[in-house]
């Protein structure tokens, strides 16, 4: 298992480039199920979750072609012959977003068998709203041996009201409804940029979707979709992670190839904390002059402060003067990083959905463990300002969603290196 060794103290200076959004790329890849023709996706990040989704699509019979050289962020998917409409537990347990194939499989093949994901490190994360929505479109659903089976001759347009805002739920049902007979109206939808990006791709494929990016989405079903070429939006969470890292290290960092309009709530909050930020076109320049002021923050659905930036914000709060109350409203168990930050010297008390952070306390390098993707990012940020060396274990979590983060950070001055297993197991024969 790889580890990161990070020595803190260097300001991040220079330009760092943001990759394509993992959470937009995953549904876009699932959308390829909806057509027999090739779907060409540009700006696909080179991260583990994308690799998992490729494996999932290949297991169903998809042909996948990866670009190389300058085109190595291009993936071409062709689902001409789908033979196996199933997402097995082995894949779903490593990546919950595998459930995104449920809607497109029922829409295209009339049936799907998808493993129920179960809980994960950040909360229970049920998929009941995906299931309820499919039923509203006329699918028959059964549950057996830990799998959901859905079937329908052809889905029929219907009304869907989401009791709770769900990002992949909105995406899954949007993909189901595009091939349904008649009109579907979905209300209380997620407004995240990743939902709008998926709708843009689907419309290029011939779908008729209106209102994506607002709470009400209207979809006129069509008989068939065709191939398309689409560029995935930049990763707003990767961009935000770099902005916080630049600020906290006292650097002067240009976060390039991002979409500042997707970062509104985060940048506003950081400005309240006293971070010097300038946006220009597709880049954000952050100058970490400090001192930073404590500011309360509560996560919300887009356009609110993203839950995927909560952990990284907590790292910043440990270095802000005063008390910051951080409230997590989306997931019930997303404070696993707090205890690891405490091990590095932070003063944090968790009370239910709130974390009370008292700053500023000096951080010192320690051996810490990643518990999930964004928690890992917060520990990397903390390590970059800690005194001495931090050894970060289980970095496979970070590899799920950040493309070669250690190389990117090193290129702007961070002291970070990856080490593999120190004592590899001997080959069985020896």
Least distance CB 77 / ligand EPU (angstroms): 17
Q: Does 331 bind ligand EPU (CB under 6 A)?
A: yes
* 183 strand-pairing partners: 220
| Binding of ligand EPU by 98 (CB under 6 A) | no
State yes or no: residue 169 binds ligand EPU (CB under 6 A). yes
Among 125, 269, 285, 354, binds ligand EPU (CB under 6 A): 125
Kindly state the tokens that stand for 346.
């932070």
Residue 108: CA atoms inside 13 Å, Cβ hemisphere, count?
A: 26
Contact status: 31 vs ligand EPU (CB under 6 A): no
Q: How far is 42 from 67, CA to CA, in rounded Å?
A: 9
The answer to whether 337 contacts ligand EPU (rule: CB under 6 A) is no
Residues facing residue 305 across a β-bridge: 299
Q: Which of residues 37-56 bind ligand EPU (CB under 6 A)?
A: none
Minimum distance, C-beta of residue 280 to ligand EPU, in the bound complex (Å): 27
* Nearest residue to 179 via CA among 150, 209, 159, 200: 209
Q: Which is nearer to ligand EPU, 121 or 323 (CB)?
A: 121
Helices (H) and strands (E) in the chain, counts: 14, 25
**330 makes contact with ligand EPU (CB under 6 A):** yes
Tell me phi and psi for residue 239, to 5 degrees.
-60, -45
Catalytic residue list contains 370: no
Eight-class DSSP state of 406: H
Sorted by sequence, the CB contacts under 8 Å of residue 146 that are 6+ apart come out as 89, 115, 116
Helix, coil or strand: residue 403: coil
Q: Does 104 bind ligand EPU (CB under 6 A)?
A: no
Strand, coil or helix: 360 = coil
Q: Scan residues 385-404 and list those touching ligand EPU (CB under 6 A).
A: 401
Q: Residues binding ligand EPU: what is the number (CB under 6 A)?
A: 26
Indicate which residue of 78, 79, 120, 370 is catalytic: 120
Q: How far is CA 221 from CA 39, 80, 181, 208, 419, in A?
A: 19, 21, 5, 7, 51
335 contributes a contact to ligand EPU by CB under 6 A: no
- Considering the complex, state which of residue 105 and residue 122 has its C-beta at the smaller distance from ligand EPU: 122
Piece of the chain touching ligand EPU by CB under 6 A; list 57-65, 78-86, 125-133, 209-217: 125-133
Residue 409 touching ligand EPU (CB under 6 A) = no
Separation CA 23–CA 105 (nearest Å): 19
Footprint on this chain of ligand EPU (rule: CB under 6 A) = 23, 26, 96-97, 123-130, 164, 166-169, 190, 194, 307-308, 330-331, 373-374, 401
Catalytic positions are: 120
């Amino acid at each position: 298992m790889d580890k990161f060794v990070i020595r803190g103290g260097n300001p991040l200076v220079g330009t760092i480039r943001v990759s394509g959004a993992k959470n937009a790329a995953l549904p876009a890849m699932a959308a390829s199920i909806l057509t027999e023709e090739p779907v060409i996706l540009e700006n696909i990040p080179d991260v583990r979750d994308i690799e998992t989704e490729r494996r999932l699509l290949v297991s169903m019979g998809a042909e996948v072609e990866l670009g190389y050289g300058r085109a190595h962020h291009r993936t071409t998917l062709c689902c001409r012959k789908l033979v196996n409409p199933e997402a097995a537990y082995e894949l779903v347990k490593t990546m919950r977003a595998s459930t995104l194939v449920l809607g497109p499989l029922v829409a295209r093949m009339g049936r799907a068998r998808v493993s129920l994901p179960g809980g994960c490190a950040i909360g229970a994360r049920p998929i009941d709203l995906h299931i309820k929505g499919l039923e509203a479109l006329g699918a028959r659903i059964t549950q057996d041996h830990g799998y959901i089976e859905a079937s329908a001759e052809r889905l029929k347009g219907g009304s869907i009201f989401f009791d709770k805002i769900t990002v992949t739920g909105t995406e899954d049902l949007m993909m189901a409804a595009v091939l349904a007979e008649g009109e579907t109206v979905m209300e209380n939808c997620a407004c995240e940029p990743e939902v709008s990006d998926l709708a843009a791709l689907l419309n290029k494929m011939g779908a008729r979707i209106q209102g994506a990016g607002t709470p009400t989405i209207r979809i006129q079903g069509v008989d068939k979709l065709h191939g398309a070429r689409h560029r995935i939006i930049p990763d707003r969470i990767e961009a935000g992670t770099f902005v916080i890292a630049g600020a906290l290290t006292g650097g002067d960092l240009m976060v390039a190839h991002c979409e500042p309009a997707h970062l509104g709530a985060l940048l506003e909050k950081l400005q309240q904390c006293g971070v010097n930020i300038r946006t220009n076109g597709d880049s954000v320049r952050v100058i970490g002059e400090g001192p930073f002021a404590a500011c309360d923050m509560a996560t919300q659905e887009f356009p609110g402060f993203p839950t995927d930036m909560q952990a990284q914000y907590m790292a910043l709060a440990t270095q802000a003067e005063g008390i910051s109350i951080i409230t997590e409203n989306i997931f019930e168990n997303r404070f696993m990083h707090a205890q690891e930050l405490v091990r590095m010297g932070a003063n944090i008390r968790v009370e239910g959905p709130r974390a009370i952070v008292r700053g500023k306390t000096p951080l010192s390098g320690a051996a810490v463990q990643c518990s999930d993707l964004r928690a890992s990012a917060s520990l990397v940020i903390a390590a970059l300002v800690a005194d001495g060396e931090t050894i970060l274990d289980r970095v496979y979590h970070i590899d799920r969603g950040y493309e070669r983060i250690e190389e990117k950070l090193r290129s702007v001055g961070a002291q970070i290196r990856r080490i593999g297993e120190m004592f590899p197991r001997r080959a069985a024969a020896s």
